[in-house]
Amino acid sequence: MPVSDFQPVIGLEVHAQLLTKSKIFCGCSTAFGAEPNRNTCPVCLGMPGVLPVLNQRVVEFAVRTGLALECTVKKTSIWSRKNYFYPDLPKGYQITQYDQPICEHGRLVIDTPQGEKVIRVRRIHMEEDAGKNVHDAGGGQSLVDLNRAGVPLLEIVSEPDLRDADEAVEYLKALRDVLVYLGVNDGNLEEGSFRCDANVSVMPKGSSTYGQRCELKNLNSFRFVKQAVEYEIARQVDVIEGGGKVDQETRLWDVNKGVTRSMRSKEDAHDYRYFPEPDLPPLHVSDAAIDAAAQALPELPRAKLTRFISQYGLPEYDARILTAERPLADFFEACAAHYPDAKKVSNWFLGELMRLLKEEGTPLSALRFTPVQLAELLGAVDKGTVSANAGKDVLGEMFRTGKAPADIIAEKGLAQVSDTGAIEAVVDEILAKNAGEAEKYRAGKTQVFGFFVGQVMRAMKGKGNPALVNELLKKKLGGA
């Protein structure tokens, strides 16, 4: 049977690091990049006798995420211990949620070539991260950095509703957008604050029984997710076609070779000996807390996209880019509130502003000018105070200095010249200098008109009002 006779089935487990200032069970900092073992204390080092105390902010973030993903937020959930030995796990167990997680039964809508598709979210639970082992650091040693130990994570587990690698990537992107919108995660795959494991299986098309699944661990880019899932689907189809059986195992994506390879099989799978964490009482979330979180829930990316299209009459392409990040959308809306033509605002955003942000590597949060000032600039262009081209220079200056557009126009002398007399003088001068070309025009070779416009504008250093320049040139060339 060729690949096309098989139906892949994919479920994703996403680990999202929460944007809390301190760890989940102690007061240590969660800042990335500190000197090894600097952000540690007896609690996150797992010293004898010490006990965990829950950071309530983590619960708030979990509830917020659960509501955004349309989950049931459970009023009582419990903590469990997941026991295993590894040097980066100081206590010999991870505190996590097991059979009674805080959120269950949610959904996330994604776009597919066939239209919208609902991906069910099985559960969301809170847990602590482990530390990091650095192997062969020199002299064949292994070193342990526990800065990350105890950093709060949400694990978001989807149902196996995804049917190909593209859907998997689409789901991940949509999920990341939601988390970033909620302010609970920075969406940074490179630093590992948004990581993904994929469960992949294949079954003959039309079958209702899932095939044996393999788990692909720690996929840290959208590209790797796509490549690894596609590779794994093909591999499993090959195994079955060759008359073999897919073994349940955990596999790693080898970035260099572009293949998945076995990490551990079911035979040596861990027995984590889960049991309720006796050092933490059951977690209770009040109705009031859930209501408050629901009230405070921001508009989510998908809703915002729909609204941008309907409210501002934007093309979907524009709306998608503008709603991709919440600060961008907010900035756009603030600007559009002070300027009547939303599409024009969008054009400036998608063109000039995005280019500047990208070129300078500046985050939107660090912008020096305000949305109102951008609206002022657009107004100035409309009124002819400054030309569209010069307006771009003004924006560049606003971007670098944060000065008001009017001040920049004045300081740099960028104000557009609309004085008919001044323009007429220049037009006369140019026509006199290029009498031969003028003759050609008058003889019917109207293509040279552009040449004259260029000459006049150059002579006026770009500040001539284009409409007036055109008008006067036409008059002089035609009327002489």
Partner 1 sequence: MQLTDLTMLELAAKLAAGAVSSEEATRACLERIRQVDPKVRAFLRVDEDGALAAARASDARRKAGSPASPLDGVPVGLKDLFLTEGVETTAGSRILEGFVPPLDATVVRLLKEAGLPLVGKLNLDEFAMGSSNESSAYFPSHNPWDVTRTPGGSSGGSAAAVAAREVFGALGTDTGGSIRQPAAFTNTVGLKPTYGRVSRYGVIAYASSLDQPGPMTRTVADAAALLQVIARHDAQDSTSAAVEAPDYSADLEAGVRGLKLGVPRDYFTEGMDPEVEASVRAALAEYERLGATLVDVSLPHTKYALATYYLLAPAEASSNLARYDGIRYGLRARDARGLKELYAQTRERGFGPEVKLRIMLGTYALSAGYYDAYYLRAQKVRTLIREDFTKAFQQVDALLSPTSPVPPFKLGEKVDDPLSMYLMDVYTLPCNLAGLPGLAVPCGFTKAGLPVGLQILGRPFDEARLLRIARAFEREHDFFRRAAPLQGA
Summarize as ranges the residues that interact with partner 1 (CB under 8 A): 42, 45-54, 81, 83, 85, 87, 90-93, 142, 144, 271, 273-275, 278-281
**Which residue's CB is nearer to partner 1, number 98 or number 194?**
98
Q: DSSP labels for 245-266?
A: -PPPEEEEEETTTTEEEEEEEG
At a CB cut-off of 8 Å and minimum separation 6, what does 350 contact? 318, 321, 322
Q: Shortest Cβ distance from residue 144 to partner 1 (Å)? A: 7
Q: CB of 39: closest distance to partner 1 in angstroms? A: 16
3-class SS letters over 424-447: HHHHHHHHHHCHHHHHHHHCCCHH
Closest listed residue to residue 110, CA positions, set 385, 331, 302, 390 = 302
Query: Do the Cβ atoms of 157 and 127 come closer than 8 Å?
Result: no
| Torsion sign, CA atoms 19, 10, 119, 333 | positive
The bridge status of strand 249-254 relative to strand 214-219 is: parallel
Q: Is residue 168 packed enough to be buried (19+ CB in 10 Å), middle (13-18) or exposed (0-12)?
A: buried
Of residues 143 and 309, the one with the C-beta less far from partner 1? 143
Shortest Cβ 50–partner 1 spacing (Å): 7
- The residue (of 152 and 391) whose beta carbon lies closer to partner 1 is 152
93 or 349, CB closer to partner 1? 93
Closest CB to partner 1 among residues 49, 413: 49
Residue 335 structure tokens: 């600007």
Judged by CB, which is closer to partner 1: 86, or 317? 86
Q: Name which of 215 and 376 has its Cβ closer to partner 1.
A: 215
Q: Pick between residue 155 and residue 277 the one whose CB is nearest to partner 1.
A: 277
Q: Which residues lie closer than 8 Å to 149 by C-beta, 6 or more apart? A: 40, 44, 45, 46, 88, 89, 90, 128, 129, 130, 131
The minimum distance between CB 87 and partner 1, in angstroms, equals: 5
**C-beta closer to partner 1: residue 20 or 80:** 80
CB of 127 to partner 1, least distance (A): 16
Question: What is the smallest separation between the CB atom of 280 and partner 1, expressed in angstroms?
Answer: 5
Task: Give 339-350 as a DSSP string.
Answer: SS-HHHHHHHII
CB of 80 to partner 1, least distance (A): 10
- Residue 138 zone, left/alpha/beta (φ > 0; ψ -120 to 50; rest): left
Are 418 and 463 within 8 A, CB to CB? no
From 412, 398, 413, select the one nearest 360 (Cα to Cα).
398
Nearest to partner 1 of 92, 315 (CB atom): 92
CB of 344 to partner 1, least distance (A): 56
Least distance from partner 1 to the Cβ atom of residue 341, Å: 57
- The residue with tokens 């220049």 is 426
382 burial type by CB count under 10 A (0-12 exposed, 13-18 middle, 19+ buried): middle
Helix (H, G, I), strand (E, B) or coil at 99: coil
Task: Give the C-alpha separation, 256 to 235, whole Å.
Answer: 17
Least distance from partner 1 to the Cβ atom of residue 93, Å: 5
